[in-house]
Amino acid sequence: QPMSPKHIAIAGNIGSGKTTLTQLLSARLDWQAYYENPDNNPYIADFYVDMPRWGFNMQVFFLYSRIARIQEIRNGSRHVVQDRTIYEDVYIFAPTLERMHLMDLRDYVCYKNLFDQIRPVIQPPDLLIYLQAPGSVLKQRILSRNREYEQQVREDYLDSLNEFYDRWAGEYALGPKLVYDVESVDFVNNPDDLERIVRDVADCFPDVAIL
């Protein structure tokens, strides 16, 4: 019986390095990369200009596009490294918007109820990698990559996201997880750090030839 494809999902705040690690890890493992493409979200530019008006719309768009992506991954035949998870939307981004009065409470409840209805059919990844980073590092990285719509990102928004991220990652129990502090693990400039991550991944998948 052929082995079912493995699914690694990389979680982390805006600017934490998810896309870069997805790229490096998928190339190193020869697995398929699935990237989040926020530019495809027709609400995102409007959202950063007027968060209270567009927060709910943006989150619903992300929710259904991520469900479609999970189905695509599970129906595929290749091992996959995915940039961002569906859980971050509902446990991190939406509650942050509600807490900061950038999403109406009734919109948040509606969104959360929608997710709760579909949660039983969502398969979690076989491995979660969480990239942890302080707000100051995130802000620096966001400014340096110069995506126009992101330049409006508020620091208090990033700090609130970080708080929810750390809580969610700490409580995450849907499967194995690896956590890296991107201040001390530099997988971009230090090949040894990337190899350390590869070794950790290999330990999580003893039945897959990785190293």
**What does DSSP assign to residue 14?**
T
Q: Tokens in use for 152? A: 């409006």
Q: Judge contact between 16 and 85, C-beta under 8 A.
A: no
Helix (H, G, I), strand (E, B) or coil at 43: coil
Of the listed 30, 39, 46, 83, which one is catalytic? Answer: 83
Q: Judge contact between 98 and 54, C-beta under 8 A.
A: no
Name which of 50, 31, 52 is nearest 104 in CA terms. 52
Tell me, rounded to whole angstroms, the distance of Cα 187 from its chain centroid.
17
Q: Is 107 a catalytic residue?
A: no
- Determine the Cα–Cα distance for residues 48 and 23; give it in Å rounded to an integer: 26
Angle subtended at Cα 25 by Cα 61 and Cα 172, rounded to the nearest 5 degrees: 55
- Determine the Cα–Cα distance for residues 89 and 166; give it in Å rounded to an integer: 14
The single residue listed with the structure tokens 């999580």 is 204
Residues catalogued as catalytic:
83
